[in-house]
């Protein structure tokens, strides 16, 4: 019975639940970004380049077919996906994080001695002014 109890504790720990939620949200977000690239950005590039699909491009050497067009499609899709994630996710999140930390005070590096009220480093075990042991 203790194994089931341990397993239950493992499943209900915060980091396991957070990871599960992250995977589900990540999968949903991936579908949104894929749709944006596939349905909006790729046709925009195709309209400019006048070639909607490169998958038909290939060359043949000694009877072997090299479909370099599929590679171009995958490369363009990857580049568009990376640009989309950078400009529509990473940059806005970085701006929000920077704004939230702008007014936040820096982590303290000192504390006050309870006896003489002088500033001492956080790692100090004794006050350098009055030799009082610090808790």
For 21-72, the pLDDT digits (tens) are 888 888 888 888 778 877 887 788 778 877 767 778 899 999 999 988 888 8
Q: Provide mean pLDDT across the span 78-97.
A: 86
Q: Provide mean pLDDT across the span 86-110.
A: 82
Residue 11 has pLDDT above 80, yes or no: no
Distance CA 62, CA 1 (A): 67
pLDDT at 63: 93
Neighbours of 127 (CB within 10 A): 20
Q: Provide mean pLDDT across the span 79-93.
A: 85
Say which residues have a Cβ less than 8 Å from residue 115's Cβ, sequence separation at least 6: 127, 130, 132
């Amino acid at each position: 019975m203790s194994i089931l109890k341990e397993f239950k504790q493992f499943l209900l720990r915060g980091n396991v639940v957070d990871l599960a939620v992250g995977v589900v949200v990540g999968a949903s977000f991936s579908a949104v970004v894929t749709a944006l690239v596939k349905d909006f950005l790729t046709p925009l590039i195709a309209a400019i380049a006048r070639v909607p699909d490169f998958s038909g491009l290939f060359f043949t050497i000694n009877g072997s077919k090299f479909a370099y067009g599929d590679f171009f499609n995958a490369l363009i899709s990857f580049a568009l996906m990376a640009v989309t994630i950078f400009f529509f996710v990473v940059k806005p999140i970085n701006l929000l994080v920077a704004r939230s930390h702008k007014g936040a005070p820096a982590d303290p590096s000192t504390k006050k001695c309870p006896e003489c009220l002088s500033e001492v480093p956080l790692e100090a075990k004794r006050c350098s002014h009055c030799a009082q042991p610090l808790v």
